[in-house]
A and B are shown apart, each in its own frame.
Chain A
């Protein structure tokens, strides 16, 4: 046996590289659940983090407040203008809602894909490594969070739950580069156009809505919502607005660049959305 194979350090290094490769392979595998060890460590870290988070937030909040004060006047003017429109809109929504309910009763269809229950959660951390944009939130399977649920802020959809432990969950943002992350969506217009959100263009900071029929007519500024056809997301969560439409490489379908409505950087509170109609029910119905 050559001498360097007897070198203890070299053998340790080789063994640890093998273990590293095996572990990375293990963690890249499609996993439905984390191991109990990971869950325990995550929950412990989240618990400690929520203690440290409070004072850190106070410090950060102070600088933010100063910044906010400078823009108060401008914002106030804008808000006043919005408020008048809002009253009109509200009365319209009320009447539409009532009409919708009445029609539903007539049809005997009580639940729709739109109905959801929201679980409020606070963001207490973010992946510092920043290769994969993930958030850590303080609600977990004990509060009813499950893998793949949609996560929204008041502005719109921001991502989905990637992994859950009893008291915390990891949220994968839409801006993450994950090809398995597909969301069924539609572009709202006279005729709704359906497609799939697949991937994120980092340079343009836009989501890619693919598989749009080649003859569909889409204008810039049209709004994009989740369609609820993917199985877990409810219908009608706002994603963003169309920025540009191009033909795909084969010219068979179109690709739309979607400017996401939610800001992926400044997130403090999120809602984890649970659809009222479960997957299984839907399958039975078909």
Chain B
């Protein structure tokens, strides 16, 4: 049963991303283009507290689901999420693994993915949004909201991931 906890939690968060955008429209979502990046936060935390392989696997699978089900631009997020997981797994070796560094990396990851998505949209001419508008109405508000959210959930999320994985580690060691 414990094995299923994490996948189902990530799945529910994946579904919630789309539902949040649809159900809480005004006034926040109307003025600013807030983009929920719960999935990305989870992937960063999984990479740091559970492992690189898990992080990259979750990143790839849910990135691909995101592409197929939501954006219909295949491969874009599957590539981004797994690359983020890989880079963070390499970078975390220099730092201590705690809730603060994880929060920091999650915020950096959100910023990078936002720019990456913007770059792709510009290349395929899916948007004509100027950089100024992108920064003001999309990038900064999104980053701001996520910074607050991450600082609130970082510690509980870390504890939860560690707890879910404790038992598995023991069972695999034996």
Contacts and interface: CB of A to CB of B under 8 A. Distances in A.
Contacts of B25: 265-266
Contacts of B76: 20, 24
Interface in B59-79: 65-66, 68-77, 79
A136 interface: yes
B15 A132 contact: no
A49 interface: yes
Nearest to A9: B86
Given A126-B18, A129-B70, A28 B124 contact: yes
B16 A131 contact: no
Chain B interface residue bracket vs A: 35 or more
Nearest to A56: B19
Contacts of B133: 202-203
B126 A123 contact: no
A95 interface: no
Given A27-B74, A41-B65, A48-B15, A177 B127 contact: yes
Given A41-B65, A48-B11, A177-B127, A125 B19 contact: yes
Contact of A132 (B21, B30, B71, B138): B71
B22 interface: yes
A256 B167 CA distance: 65
Contacts of B126: 131-132, 177
A57 to B, nearest CB: 6
Chain A interface residue bracket vs B: 35 or more
A115 B26 CA distance: 34
A237 interface: no
B151 interface: no
B102 to A, nearest CB: 22
Contact of B22 (A16, A124, A131, A170): A124
Contacts of A2: none
A97 B173 CA distance: 79
A128 B36 contact: yes
A16 B76 CA distance: 11
A184 interface: no
Interface of B: 11-12, 15-26, 29-30, 33, 35-36, 65-66, 68-77, 79, 117, 120-121, 124, 126-129, 133, 138
Query: What are the 8 tightest A-B residue pairs by CB atom distance, in nearest-first order?
Result: A23-B75, A125-B18, A265-B25, A126-B22, A60-B23, A45-B69, A128-B17, A23-B74
Given A48-B11, A125-B18, A130-B21, 15 more contacts: A16-B79, A20-B76, A24-B124, A38-B68, A41-B65, A41-B69, A42-B68, A52-B15, A56-B16, A123-B22, A126-B22, A128-B70, A129-B70, A177-B126, A265-B26
